[in-house]
């Protein structure tokens, strides 16, 4: 068969490549760059060494930023209030690229390295089925053969290849939006994650003594500048990951409810994601009506759940995104932030569409309702609650 393999260059997908070759398949490897800098080095060479018939490296960093991350900011995408969805967002994009190549190459099957315990298999398979049809063959050797680390190592060795990343304690998945660290000592939910788990952030106590000030410019809900300098979203994100990470902000540690019915202890680094979502949420508060704000939070949560749970293909996602875009039409302006030794605070904001008025709010010279207006409002406003309390015998 001609098989298109979603290839990261890591231990598992390298073993899968060798295994499929041993079974006599013609393997075409596809590596999609979504900002995972470290892993990409030498991946093409490795693919050919392991017997790939053809290899594609697809640079999708700008696309990831402009079409996926931008929506994650507009929708304040955080799963269970904590996880900025880096892996969850990248999987549909990777799957779409793999499907495209599978079609172009007339492949008989696609293969990926997801396990049976994770969310990623759900995210890959749904999008692959969406593009390639329900009956298209999806090979997932880790899931089908329970390919363990030891077995993967053995396969690579018998193919004359010294396994990559054997020394690694953790299972890492990184892209422009977040870095996820799983396994090893982190599986003990009571133990503090060891320092060697982190690569994007310094420990807060080692951060510089001077605070970092940032001014993020937004247009229609999307960041367009940092400290007055306009740049692409991809550039803003990679720059903030470095700047903010160096000040010790951006670590996440929580217990996460996976789609596949189990809880896991998840550790992430996402300095830019947390900074930009915090800034965006703040600007939304300045702009939206109270009703818009409350309703927007429901949209945000539903969107985050769909993305996390591998339902990228759910039609409702597009409906939510339309509403999210419509509300974000007014989310323009700037947000000032202060990052200091692992903490981040919004310290100022401005928007041309903010209905905040200093004139109105000023106690000395601002607008005041008359005594009569204020009393009338309070009477009518509290009528339901007071009447209900009376009916229940709770008041005089
Ligand atoms: N728990 C996160 C998620 O489901 C991270 C998954 C990381 N994936 C991986 N193959 N290491 O999105």
Q: Who contacts 191 (Cβ-Cβ below 8 Å, separation ≥6)? A: 185
> How high is the pLDDT of residue 163?
78
* d(CA 23, ligand 1 centre) in Å: 29
The answer for residues whose C-beta is within 8 angstroms of residue 372's C-beta and 6 or more apart is none
Query: How confident is the model at residue 164, as a pLDDT?
Result: 66
| Structure tokens that stand for 66 in this block | 């402009």
Sequential DSSP letters for 134-189: TTSEEE-HHHHTT--HHHHHHHHHHTT-PPTTTT--SEEEE-SS-EEEESGGGGST
Query: What is the residue-averaged pLDDT of the chain?
Result: 96
**Which residue among the candidates 33, 125, 143, 171 is catalytic per the annotation?**
171
Q: Is the pLDDT at 327 greater than 90, yes or no?
A: yes
Which pLDDT tens digit goes with each residue over 251-263? 999 999 999 999 9
Angle between helices 149-158 and 11-22 (to 10 degrees): 50
Instruction: Give tens-digit pLDDT for 161-202.
Output: 887 666 678 999 999 999 999 999 999 999 999 999 999 999
Atom of ligand 1 nearest to the CA of 264: 1
Looking at residue 125, what DSSP letter applies?
Answer: H
CA-proximal residue: ligand 1, atom 10 (nearest): 173
**Residue 190's pLDDT is what?**
98
User: Alpha-carbon dihedral of residues 351, 354, 358, 362, nearest 10 degrees?
Assistant: -150
- What pLDDT is attached to residue 266? 98
Tell me, in angstroms, the distance from the centre of ligand 1 to residue 174's CA: 9
> Is 3.40.50.620 the CATH classification of the domain at 2-172?
yes
**For ligand 1, is residue 266 a contact (CB within 6 Å)?**
yes
Per-residue pLDDT reduced to its tens digit, 111-153: 999 999 999 999 999 999 999 999 999 999 999 988 888 999 9
CB-ligand 1 contact for 120 (6 Å cutoff):
yes
Confidence band for 396, pLDDT divided at 50, 70 and 90: confident
Tell me what the mean pLDDT of segment 371-380 comes to. Answer: 97
| pLDDT single digits (tens) 58-100 | 999 999 999 999 999 999 999 999 999 999 999 999 999 999 9
Query: What does the pLDDT average to over 367-389?
Result: 95
* pLDDT over 70 (residue 6): yes
CB 31 within 8 A of CB 38: no
Sheet holding 251-257, edge to edge: 171-174, 179-182, 263-269, 251-257
% of the chain residues with pLDDT over 90 = 91
What pLDDT, on the 0 to 100 scale, is given for residue 116? 95
Q: How confident is the model at residue 365 (pLDDT cuts 50, 70, 90)?
A: confident
Please report which confidence band the pLDDT of residue 37 belongs to, taking 50, 70 and 90 as the band edges. confident
What residues are designated binding site? 6-14, 83, 113, 115, 119-120, 123, 171, 180, 256, 268
Q: What is the pLDDT of residue 167?
A: 63
Q: Output the pLDDT for position 166.
A: 60
pLDDT of residue 118: 96
Residue 91 annotated among the catalytic residues of the structure: yes
Maximum distance among all Cα pairs of the chain, rounded to whole angstroms: 88
CATH architecture of 177-350: Alpha-Beta Complex (3.90)
81 Cα: distance to centroid of ligand 1 (angstroms) = 16
Q: Spot the catalytic one: 33, 120, 173, 317.
A: 120
Question: Hey, whose CA ends up nearest to atom 8 of ligand 1?
Answer: 173
Told to judge if 12 belongs to the known catalytic residues of this protein, a careful annotator would answer: yes
Residue ranges at the known binding site for L-aspartate: 115, 119-120
Report whether residue 309 contacts ligand 1, using a CB cutoff of 6 Å: no
Q: How far is the CA of 255 from the centre of ligand 1 (A)?
A: 13
Confidence at residue 363, expressed as pLDDT on a 0 to 100 scale? 85
Number of other residues whose CB lies within 10 A of the CB of residue 147: 20
Torsion of the alpha carbons at 100, 101, 104 and 110, rounded to the nearest 10: -100
Domains 2-172 and 177-350 agree in fold: no
* CA atoms in the 13 A half-sphere facing the CB of 185: 10
Angle between helices 86-104 and 290-308 (to 10 degrees): 50
- Among 16, 182, 269, which is best to mutate for testing ligand 1, by the most ligand atoms less than 8 A from CB? 182
Closest CA to 121 of 111, 107, 131, 134: 111
Which residue ranges make up the annotated binding site for L-citrulline?
A: 83, 119, 123, 171, 180, 256, 268
Rg of the chain over Cα atoms, rounded to whole angstroms, equals 25
Confirm or reject: Cβ of 87 under 6 Å from ligand 1. yes
* Residue range 30-43: mean pLDDT, rounded: 88
* Domain layout of the chain by residue ranges: 2-172, 177-350, 365-394
- Kindly give the number of the ligand 1 atom that is closest to the alpha carbon of 86: 12
Question: Closest by alpha carbon to 27, among 42, 11, 49, 58?
Answer: 49
Residue 333's contacts (CB-CB under 8 Å, 6 or more residues apart) are 217, 218, 283, 286, 287, 349, 350, 351, 352, 353, 354
């Amino acid at each position: 068969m001609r098989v298109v393999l979603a290839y990261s260059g890591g231990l598992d997908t390298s073993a899968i490549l060798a295994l499929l070759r041993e079974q006599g398949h013609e393997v075409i490897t596809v590596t999609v760059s979504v900002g995972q800098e470290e892993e990409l080095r030498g991946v093409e060479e490795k693919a050919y060494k392991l017997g790939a018939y053809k290899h594609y490296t697809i640079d999708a960093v700008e696309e990831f930023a402009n079409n996926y991350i931008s929506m994650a900011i507009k929708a304040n995408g955080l799963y269970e209030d904590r996880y900025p969805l880096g892996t969850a967002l990248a999987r549909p994009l990777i799957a779409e690229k793999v499907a495209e190549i599978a079609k172009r190459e007339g492949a008989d099957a696609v293969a990926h390295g997801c396990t049976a315990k994770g969310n990623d298999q759900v995210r890959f398979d749904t999008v692959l089925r969406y593009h390639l049809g329900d009956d298209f063959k999806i090979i997932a050797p880790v899931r089908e053969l329970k390919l363990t680390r030891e077995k993967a190592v053995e396969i690579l060795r018998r193919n004359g290849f010294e396994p990559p990343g054997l020394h690694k304690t953790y299972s890492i998945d990184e892209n422009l939006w977040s870095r996820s660290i799983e396994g090893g000592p982190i599986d003990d939910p009571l133990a503090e994650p060891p320092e060697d788990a982190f690569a994007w952030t310094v420990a807060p106590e080692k951060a510089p003594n001077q605070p970092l000030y940032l001014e993020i410019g937004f247009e229609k809900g999307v960041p367009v500048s940092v400290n007055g300098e306009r740049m692409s979203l991809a550039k803003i994100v990679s720059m903030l990951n470095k700047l903010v990470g160096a000040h010790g902000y951006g670590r996440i540690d929580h217990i996460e409810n996976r789609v596949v019915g189990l809880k896991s202890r998840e550790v992430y680094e996402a300095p830019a994601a947390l900074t930009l979502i915090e800034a965006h949420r703040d600007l939304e508060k300045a702009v939206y009506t109270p009703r818009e704000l409350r309703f927007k939070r429901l949209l945000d949560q539903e969107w985050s759940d769909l993305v996390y749970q591998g339902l990228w293909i759910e039609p409702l996602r597009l409906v939510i995104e339309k509403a999210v875009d419509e509300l974000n039409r007014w989310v323009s302006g700037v947000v000032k932030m202060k990052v200091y030794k692992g903490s981040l605070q919004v310290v100022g904001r401005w928007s041309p569409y903010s209905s905040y008025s200093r004139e109105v709010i000023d106690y000395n010279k601002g607008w005041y309702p008359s005594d009569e207006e204020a009393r009338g409002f309070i009477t009518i406003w509290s009528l339901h609650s007071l009447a209900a309390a009376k009916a229940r015998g709770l008041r005089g």
